[in-house]
Chains A and B, each alone.
Chain A
């Protein structure tokens, strides 16, 4: 990754241009041609530095509900329960964490009832007594952009 790649990343993670020729806009800001901007972005995608280019929706503005859930799962059952949880398209993130509450996942669905339904199914199918539902009661920050520090080029 060289300086121009970093400039591109800083630019397009804040906002990908909404214009007929988005790569021309990127190129103009970074000081390269439309074609080179397109090629660099394509390369960063195939190198998996860019996971995706698209929209992040505001679940609340779309009238969806979201929550963070946790469960205490015996170690020998963790993998099985985790894979049950992961089958739901409404579950976007699912992790093991270093705590007695060892399974953590997020659920986004059209209603709180649908979330409760999913959690009840997970308990039943996974054979666990409880999944804790912890929807945010206050939101102080949601940020998904990180600024790339200008360190030594490593191309």
Chain B
């Protein structure tokens, strides 16, 4: 844990790690439970955002219910390290790509770049992957789909 994060911060962030209180004055509710004022809570949350501890603060949607029915993991063979540096950002530019990473490859796993691609259907995801392939010139790729979801949760960094 980052040593800059003190016990009060942990207490406050524990309220933010899944759902903030479902009340019309959520920060007032947190304040009462932590023993600070509403203004202090607001200042703290704003400072966490500023420091980058909080990457995003807002609503997470269940995409399946909101029109994003399909997502696929694009895996791309880009053996040259310089090509990866050049092509990763191009893949990242696609709006439908939420995550783009370089990861280690292995003898039986010759893929280097990973992209999570979202669309309204599997066909649309395939279409986007094809566009990425055309734009980057990477021809050796696959799209893997989740055929079963065993767990999907948000990380509880600060305990329960």
Contacts and interface: CB of A to CB of B under 8 A. Distances in A.
Interface of A: 1, 9, 12-16, 18-23, 34-35, 38, 41-42, 45, 47-59, 61-64, 68, 70, 82-83, 85-86, 89-99, 101, 104-105, 108, 110, 132, 134-148
A13 B56 CA distance: 9
A1 B146 CA distance: 27
Given A50-B59, A96-B147, A139 B101 contact: yes
Contact of A58 (B38, B55, B101): B55
B150 A96 contact: yes
Given A20-B39, A54-B18, A56-B54, 6 more contacts: A9-B66, A42-B22, A49-B62, A61-B52, A86-B151, A92-B153
A54 B55 contact: no
14 contacts: A14-B58, A18-B42, A20-B27, A47-B65, A54-B60, A55-B45, A56-B57, A61-B51, A92-B151, A98-B144, A132-B106, A135-B103, A144-B60, A145-B56
Contacts of A56: 54-57, 60, 154
A61 B54 CA distance: 9
- Of all A-B residue pairs in the complex, the 5 with the closest CB atoms, nearest first, are A141-B92, A138-B102, A55-B16, A95-B146, A96-B148
A114 B22 CA distance: 34
Interface in B1-48: 1-2, 5, 13, 16-20, 22, 24-28, 38-39, 42, 45-46, 48
A13 B155 contact: no
B62 A138 contact: no
Interface of B: 1-2, 5, 13, 16-20, 22, 24-28, 38-39, 42, 45-46, 48-49, 51-63, 65-68, 73, 84-85, 88-89, 91-92, 95, 97-104, 106, 109, 114, 118, 142, 144-157
Contacts of A14: 58
A130 to B, nearest CB: 10
A142 B99 contact: yes
A14 B25 CA distance: 20
A28 to B, nearest CB: 15
Given A22-B26, A48-B62, A50-B61, A93 B151 contact: yes
Nearest to A59: B155
Given A97-B146, A138-B101, A16 B92 contact: no
Contacts of B18: 52, 54
Contact of B102 (A35, A89, A92, A136): A136
